[in-house]
């Protein structure tokens, strides 16, 4: 269903006029399986990293890798002010566990973070690397699988109707 919606939306006249007027390369908006799955990969990879300006970080990949930019930007929004604290706490706990460090009790205040940044930095970013790499690669393969199964299901449905 998402696949069909993306394909329909990409053919909309107003969107086509905007793309032509803005001189946006079409490959950065392509609604095909490879471009969408790459967009999910890059967007989720950046979304798990605790840093400001995540959307700008996604755009830094544009000259080097071709992917669907709007999908990647949307994936970045998965880490928003509501989801960030649990995500980063989970990454910190995972990094602490894997490094064999006893986690510090965390207080959600800027003062606590500024005083304890050196203690939590390594476990946090180690956990971040684990979730960024494995989470984004898993999502890449999941999107590919779901896309292919959607195409197969549509083909079977089409053959039954004939």
Q: What are the residue ranges spanned by the domains of the chain?
A: 25-157
- What pLDDT is stored for residue 5 in this prediction? 66
The rounded Cα 18 to chain-centroid distance in angstroms is 25
Please give the sequence-ordered ranges of beta strands (E in DSSP) within the chain, or none if there are none. none
d(CA 87, CA 84): 5
* Beta carbons of 128 and 122 less than 8 angstroms apart: no
The whole-model pTM stands at: 0.82
In this predicted model, what pLDDT tens digit does every residue of 1-36 receive, in sequence order? 565 666 666 666 766 676 666 666 767 777 788 999
- What pLDDT is stored for residue 117 in this prediction? 84
Give the pLDDT means over successive 10-residue stretches in the chain (162 positions): 62 67 70 90 94 90 89 90 89 93 83 84 93 96 92 83 74
d(CA 123, CA 119): 8
């Amino acid at each position: 269903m998402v696949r069909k919606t993306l394909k329909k939306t990409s053919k909309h006249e107003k969107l086509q006029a905007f793309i032509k007027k803005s001189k946006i390369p079409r490959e950065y908006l392509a609604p095909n399986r490879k471009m969408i799955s790459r967009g999910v990969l890059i967007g989720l990879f950046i979304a798990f990293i605790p840093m400001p300006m995540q959307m700008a970080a996604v755009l830094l990949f544009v000259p080097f890798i071709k992917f669907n930019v709007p999908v990647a930007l949307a994936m970045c929004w998965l880490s928003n002010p509501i989801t960030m604290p649990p995500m980063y706490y989970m990454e910190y706990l995972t990094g602490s566990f894997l490094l064999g460090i006893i986690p510090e009790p965390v207080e959600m205040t800027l003062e606590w973070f500024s005083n304890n940044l050196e203690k939590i930095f390594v476990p946090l970013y180690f956990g971040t690397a684990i979730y960024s790499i494995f989470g984004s690669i898993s999502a890449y393969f999941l999107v590919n699988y779901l896309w292919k199964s959607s195409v197969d299901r549509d083909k079977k449905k089409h053959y039954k109707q004939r």
